[in-house]
A = this chain, B = another copy of it.
Amino acid sequence: MLTIGQLADFAGVTVRTVRHYHQVGLLPEPERDASGYRRYGARAVVSLIKIRTLANAGVPLSRIGRLLDADPSAFAESIDRIDGDLRDEIDRLEASRKQIAQLAAGDSLVLPPEVLAYLDRLRELGVAERLVQSERDGWILVVARRPERIRDVMAAKFAQLEDPRLVRLYRLGSEIAEGDAEHDDTRLAEAADILVALTEQAYAAGESDTDALDEVPYDLLDILAVESDPRAQRLLDLVRKRGWASWTRNRPERLTVPD
């Protein structure tokens, strides 16, 4: 006959675990000896090993109880499901390994490849890293809101980069973000001109792809606004003077009474 400690050692569990299985009725309480110690026979060893085999496979104790007194066919069926769950869990952990490797490599994890490619393209065009990071933050919010639209939106964005005026706008933004404040005025004026030109063109073409993004700010101007840069307000003022209201709305809106 075995003591509770010997039984536990044999199954590779703690004494507390064996007592817990008694408490929840998974393992029947054995006879006690003269000192009140539990004494276990071969049956308990077999039962405990079975319980641990299933518990190690991730089966909840409540289900193990029902499993142990199921008929053979139901038992075999359950084992099949448990094995399937184990395979799934292994796949999940393999995927997790790839994820943390990406985390270690400093990859985004958050953004789909289309957006990452767009950000890399901006870097190639010489856009300042600070501006790229702000753009990234904007796209994270867009992806969070409309993950299903992101491929179409990015395709349109790549196409827009063919327009040299947009590239110039990004460069101006970079210079404003990085450069000394001395030339801000001329740069802001030129940026405002480009913004108005692009907006008017989009307005005229009746473009509505901004619909997909509703309240999410994702434009250059908004990026500066997100950064709460005071120069964003000055740029906004310049644009308003040219007859346009805001870029944080769904669509560009022409002011009826320019001030």
Contact = CB atoms under 8 A, between A and B. Distances in A.
A45 to B, nearest CB: 5
Contact of A109 (B53, B89, B100): B53
A211 interface: no
A148 B79 CA distance: 32
Contacts of A103: 50, 53-54, 79
A223 B101 CA distance: 57
Interface string A205-226: 0000000000000000000001
Interface residues of A, number: 48
Contact of A45 (B41, B50, B144): B144
Given A42-B138, A45-B140, A140-B45, A87 B79 contact: no
Which of A100, A138, A143: most chain B Cβ within 10 A?
A: A100
Interface of A: 1-2, 6-7, 10, 41-43, 45-46, 49-50, 53-54, 56-58, 75-76, 79, 82-83, 86-87, 89-90, 92-94, 96-97, 99-101, 103-104, 109-110, 136-138, 140-141, 143-145, 147, 226
